[in-house]
């Protein structure tokens, strides 16, 4: 018999290094971007069609992606889906939305889990097709895709009142 776990302020026992290693591993993936992209990359923020929002300010979008806002409504949690590392879309989102490097992004989510500020890390996906499939099938889900890869079954959100391709759209 060992000593009972120590509770911190009535919360669950502290996370062990193994759990942190699992979280870190969940944030690591390999993806090779498609070479020869000729047009400027524009990112569309997409949600499940039944998500009760059509537009977000850039600040609101940042809060959603940083896990600071976790519910669309009291009974609809936000499900965050993220492209795998090295994807051009992810690089743009890390730079413009998170304002972090890849290493800082990983540490950010590890810390959120450790501090019990998030129930889970974002789900990592390897292609725009995977994101489109899951966003279309998971109520409350949100992600980002290359604006040229948007297809039926997804709702594209306006950011600061603009859609991808419009002047002053912030994710290009």
Residues 102-140: tens digit of each pLDDT: 999 999 999 999 999 987 889 999 999 999 999 999 999
pTM: 0.77
* 5 inside domain: no
Give the length of the chain. Answer: 172
Please report whether residue 167 resides in a domain.
no
Residue 109 lies in a domain: yes
For residue 57, tell me if it sits in a domain.
Answer: yes
Sheet of 141-146, strand order: 123-125, 79-83, 141-146, 43-47, 155-156
Domain that holds residue 102: 17-29+45-159
- 103, part of any domain: yes
What is the CATH number for 68? 3.40.190.10
On whether residue 36 sits in a domain, the answer given is no
9 domain residue, yes or no: no
Let me know if residue 170 belongs to a domain.
no
In whole angstroms, give the CA distance from residue 66 to residue 64.
6
The number of folded domains in the chain is: 1
What mean pLDDT value characterizes the chain? 83
């Amino acid at each position: 018999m060992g000593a009972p776990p120590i509770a911190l302020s009535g919360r669950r026992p502290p996370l062990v290094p193994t759990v942190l290693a699992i979280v870190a591993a969940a944030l690591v993936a390999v993806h090779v971007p498609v070479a020869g992209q000729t047009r400027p990359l524009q990112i569309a923020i997409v949600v499940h069609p039944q998500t009760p929002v059509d537009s977000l300010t850039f600040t609101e979008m940042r809060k959603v992606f940083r896990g600071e806002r976790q519910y669309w409504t009291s009974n609809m949690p936000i499900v965050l889906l993220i492209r795998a590392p090295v994807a051009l879309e992810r690089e743009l989102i890390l730079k413009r939305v998170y304002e972090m490097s890849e290493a800082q992004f990983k540490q950010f989510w590890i810390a959120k889990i450790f501090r019990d500020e998030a129930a889970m890390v974002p789900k990592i996906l390897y292609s725009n097709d995977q994101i489109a499939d899951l966003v279309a099938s998971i109520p409350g889900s949100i992600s980002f895709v290359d604006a040229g890869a948007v297809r039926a079954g997804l709702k594209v959100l306006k950011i600061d009142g603009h859609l991808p391709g419009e002047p002053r759209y912030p994710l290009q």
